[in-house]
């Protein structure tokens, strides 16, 4: 039988973090917890596996995004996206729409 959505079934639109100066949004979620949604970002925390160090660098552009081929053209950053930085290519390992932060690993 058809029925309305229950409160616990509510969903939200995807954030689609894109390349621009930093902007975040705090959203209250189930259980009274909070999620920080990253709406825009232009810097990424890059981990270098060879040196074991992490540094914050500027993002130049999005090279490819396996989530959707059109995301790269629109400079949308999601987990798994490959971005170009001054120190090299970086693969994003965090979920910016859920975690509110951009972390990545340097790819040779």
Domains of the chain with CATH codes: 41-108 (2.40.10.310)
Name the β-bridge partners of 92. 104
Task: Using alpha carbons, list the distances in angstroms from residue 107 to 17, 26, 52.
Answer: 21, 31, 13
Query: pLDDT: is 15 or 7 the higher one?
Result: 15
44-88 pLDDT, tens digit per residue, is: 999 999 999 999 999 999 999 999 999 999 999 999 999 999 999
Q: Determine contact, residues 17/41, Cβ cutoff 8 Å.
A: yes
Query: pLDDT: is 12 or 79 the higher one?
Result: 79
How confident is residue 37, by pLDDT bands cut at 50, 70 and 90?
Answer: very high
Task: Using alpha carbons, list the distances in angstroms from residue 85 to 5, 36, 52, 103.
Answer: 43, 24, 18, 13
Q: Determine contact, residues 100/17, Cβ cutoff 8 Å.
A: no
């Amino acid at each position: 039988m058809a029925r309305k959505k229950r409160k616990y079934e509510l969903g939200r639109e995807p954030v689609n973090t894109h390349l621009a100066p930093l902007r975040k949004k705090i959203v209250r979620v189930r259980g009274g917890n909070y999620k920080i949604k990253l709406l825009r970002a232009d810097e990424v925390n890059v981990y270098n596996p060879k040196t074991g160090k992490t540094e914050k660098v500027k993002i130049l552009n999005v090279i490819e995004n396996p989530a959707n081929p059109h995301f790269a053209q629109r400079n949308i950053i999601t987990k798994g996206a490959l971005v170009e930085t001054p120190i090299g290519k970086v693969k994003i390992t965090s979920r910016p729409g859920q975690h509110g932060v951009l972390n990545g690993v340097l790819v040779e």
